[in-house]
Amino acid sequence: MALKLSLIFAALALNAGAASAPKPADPFAGIKLTAPDGSAMANFIPWGATTTNFWVKDKYGKFRDILLGFDNHTMYGDPASNGHPYFGPVVGRYANRIRNGTFTIPVTKDASGPNKFHIVENENNGTDTLHGGLIGYDQRPWTLVKKTDNSVTFSLLDPNGDQGFPGTVITTIEYTLEVKSTWKISMHSTASELTPIMLSCHQYWNLEAYQETQDLLGHFAQFDSSNIITTNGELIPTGSLTPVEGTPLDFRKAKSIGGSINATAAEEYCGTGCVGFDNCWIYDDNDCKKPVFSLWSVNSGIKLDVTTNQPALQVYTCNGLFNPALPIPRKVDQGGPDAVYGYHSCVVVEQESWIDGINHPEFPVNQIYGPDRTYSWESTYAFSVLK
């Protein structure tokens, strides 16, 4: 079976470089989906398998686009002009950060063992790798495989050696809008040889669509997690955990995200000199059957409940999104283009595995996949209105 798979991957990799390889006619062309009962709508583009818009109804029965992004879709493919915020794509082959851009197979502490791989560093002055390297999955045209009125499937062939990763990986993602404003996302990857895979979706949310406020004071969250993965000043994991008890990181009881941000300043949880959240929480008890994360706005009344098969959650409160030298205009239906996306005005929610697990064999995860082990990422985002 492994030999058969390797031959298939070799043929696919060869074909990927050929002129006849399938490519989307326009990777920035919008694809619109509508839930069967009309309760939700969303737009996607093949570039990065990106979600560009997401509409659900607020407590007044009016649709709002609650996802940050660009009205001009070509901007998604021009990171130099916008600071590369990773608005709405799949991030990979390995999401989040890789210490020193290196790892070994088998995994050893901080890549101290043999069989070392070096991935393109693209962050912190070339000292670590973020979201898969210089050209991650967000900066590639995915192939449109299938589309219905409420579902779209994209695929990506990631060749052996790209960005330094071993093995050819084929990934598919299916986005489906179901009744009652339910969004199902399913990602699966197969690899020709042993290689790390950790994917995530990187949507930026403002559940008010910037209509009531420009901050996160009205955004509340609740999720059961007693620990975060401890990181250094550059957000690289140290290998230990930090208990959330008695800290601003504790969301086991519902509280305002925006109201907790200033309390993070002293400990610099989101990095040196940073105020806000950019942390990886470990779910206490995730049976993959019931929601493990909830986010809502008391102003719009929109609520999000997430069910996932992932063991961890990264939350980023847009601490560095606003750059005075390169401000990002908001979408027109979010008050743009004169208004821009501001500091601490949105939240990214990434369902994922333990970050930089490929440099920490002490973590209870196995992030190495191959011909005999496929990768699976499943999440359901269920939207509702507060009662």
Q: By C-alpha distance, which of 50, 13, 54, 19 is closest to 141?
A: 50
Q: Which amino acid is at 281?
A: W
d(C-alpha 257, C-alpha 90), whole Å: 25
Cβ-in-10-Å burial (0-12, 13-18, 19+) of 160 comes to: middle
Answer yes or no: 212 catalytic. Answer: no
Q: How many CB atoms lie within 10 A of CB 23?
A: 14
Q: Please tell me the number of Cα atoms within 13 Å of 99 on its side-chain side.
A: 23
Catalytic residue among 121, 123, 208, 350: 350
- Please tell me the total number of residues recorded for the chain in this structure: 387
CB 188 within 8 A of CB 202: no
- The one-letter amino acid code at 161 reads G
What single letter denotes the amino acid at residue 46?
P
Beta bridge partners of 98: 129
Would you give the distance in Å from CA 29 to the centre of its chain?
A: 21
Kindly name the residue from 202, 219, 344, 360 that is annotated as catalytic: 202
Q: Classify residue 344 as left (phi > 0), alpha (psi -120 to 50) or beta.
A: left
What is residue 58's three-state secondary structure? coil
Can you name the residues that pair with 156 across neighbouring β-strands?
171
CB of 329 within 8 A of CB of 72? no
Q: What does the alpha-carbon distance between residue 160 and residue 47 come to, in Å, rounded to a whole number? A: 20
Other Cβ atoms within 10 Å of 17 Cβ, number: 9
The 3-state DSSP class for residue 6 equals: helix
Contact between 203 and 350 under an 8 Å Cβ cutoff? The reply is: no
Amino acid identity, position 246: G
Locate 4 and state its tokens: 């058969």
The CA–CA distances, whole Å, from 377 to 77, 261, 361 equal 25, 30, 21
Q: Is 245 a catalytic residue?
A: no
Question: Which residues form the catalytic set?
Answer: 202, 350
